[in-house]
Amino acid sequence: MRGRDAKRETMSIGVFDSGVGGLTVHRALVERFPQADFVYLADQANAPYGGRPGEEIVDLTKAGCIRLFDEGASLIVLACNTASAIALRRLQQTWLPGYRRETGRPLNVLGIIVPTIEAATGMPWEHEADRRDEQVTKVDVLGVFSTPGTANSRVFEIEIDKRKQDLAVFSEPCPNLARMIEENADREALAGEIAGHVDALRRRIGRHPDRAVLGCTHYEIVADLFRDALPPGTPLIHQPGATAEALGRYMERHPEYVAGGTGQRRFLTTGTPGPQNGLVGSFWGEPLAFEGA
Ligand code: DGL
């Protein structure tokens, strides 16, 4: 409870991921809210999440949220598809209301699947299709590259099917990719891995998808390699921008989370503190060192 008492007065936006992937979302949020204070937590001691059992992902995500709330965050963005797909609803329903009462603070946790689906369908989340008289004449195919955890949850298939019958979703689980990015694999190895998944998805669909979601925040770090492996011009739905836009709309509806701030940025890791790996360095554009969480 140390941080909870000490840092209660400050109010920042928390950003959570198993590792460095969430930095892609963090950067877009910082661009959108330059004055806000941010604290980023990478649970690198437990990364990757994508192949872990669901209950572990729930427990680890909850621990990460508590850590960020202790650091003064009032609003947390789970910049992790796996945590958003598997843990978010459970935490919002079974844990957060009691925790909010216990602390007496306005606290919330948001995910990145909803903004992504809004961007993929072009429809607000509230929209659910009325299927009665529907005549679908052409179906576009959306490919979703993700961790096995996100793919097994079928969240993109289920939620898009409720909203847009002319968009068929095919997920491609990529069991090694987040770990390879986290471990700073060389770009040639990453390009080979990504080309293999693009080809596996093509074979499963029978053709390439019409558009694609990089449904794991780590993949955005190597978005150029996905672009090279997919047919030229395949539109990619970018989660960072979609999440920043959605957070802007959320803040308008919930001004209690607009905290002022002085543009502070802190980066914490449950893993080894210090500079992050080279892939992240080149994506971030300047050296980035993490403090121990
Ligand atoms: N970056 C995360 C995601 O969006 C987690 C990847 C992992 O830890 O497996 O799913």
CA distance 268 to 2: 16
Distance 104 CA to ligand 1 centre (A): 31
The pLDDT assigned to 192 comes to: 98
The pLDDT assigned to 259 comes to: 65
Lining ligand 1 with CB less than 6 A are 17-19, 21, 47-50, 80-82, 147, 150, 178, 216-218
Distance 135 CA to ligand 1 centre (A): 37
The pLDDT assigned to 7 comes to: 45
Count up the domains in the chain and report the number: 2
Give the number of the atom of ligand 1 that is nearest the alpha carbon of residue 79: 4
**250 shares a domain with 220:** no
**139 shares a domain with 24:** no
The pLDDT assigned to 183 comes to: 92
**214 shares a domain with 249:** no
CB 230 within 8 A of CB 211: no
Give the number of the atom of ligand 1 that is nearest the alpha carbon of residue 112: 4
The pLDDT assigned to 258 comes to: 73
With CA atoms as reference, report the closest residue to 105 among 117, 116, 113, 97: 97
The pLDDT assigned to 260 comes to: 76
The pLDDT assigned to 286 comes to: 85
Of 238, 253, 283, which residue is a domain's last?
238
**216 shares a domain with 121:** yes
Which residues, listed in sequence order, are joined to residue 41 by a DSSP beta bridge? 16, 268
**178 shares a domain with 194:** yes
The pLDDT tens digits along the chain (293 residues) read: 444 444 444 579 999 999 999 999 999 999 999 999 999 999 999 999 999 999 999 999 999 999 999 999 999 999 999 999 999 999 999 999 999 999 999 899 999 999 999 999 999 898 887 776 678 888 999 999 999 999 999 999 999 999 998 999 999 999 999 999 999 999 999 999 999 999 999 999 999 999 999 999 999 999 999 999 999 999 999 999 999 999 999 999 998 887 678 899 999 999 999 988 888 888 888 889 999 99
| 65 noted as active-site residue | no
| 80 noted as active-site residue | yes
**173 shares a domain with 137:** yes
Distance 226 CA to ligand 1 centre (A): 17
The pLDDT assigned to 103 comes to: 94
**227 shares a domain with 264:** no
**34: domain range?**
2-111+241-292
The pLDDT assigned to 10 comes to: 54
Pocket probe mutation, ligand 1, options 18, 43, 145, 213, max atoms within 8 Å of Cβ: 18
The pLDDT assigned to 94 comes to: 97
CA distance 210 to 202: 11
Catalytic annotation, pick one of 25, 80, 120, 230: 80
**183 shares a domain with 125:** yes
**263 shares a domain with 217:** no
Pocket probe mutation, ligand 1, options 20, 44, 49, max atoms within 8 Å of Cβ: 49
Distance 178 CA to ligand 1 centre (A): 6
**DSSP letter string, 223-277:** HHHHHHHSPTT--EE-HHHHHHHHHHHHHHH-GGG-------EEEEESS--EEPP
The pLDDT assigned to 39 comes to: 97
Give the number of the atom of ligand 1 that is nearest the alpha carbon of residue 21: 1
Distance 38 CA to ligand 1 centre (A): 20
**128 shares a domain with 233:** yes
Of 202, 223, 238, which residue is a domain's last?
238
Of 196, 223, 238, which residue is a domain's last?
238
Structure tokens at 171: 């997920």
**What is the rounded end-to-end Cα distance, in angstroms, of the chain?**
14
Here the CATH number for the domain that contains residue 175 is 3.40.50.1860
**173 shares a domain with 230:** yes
> Is the pTM of the predicted complex or chain greater than 0.85?
yes
**176 shares a domain with 213:** yes
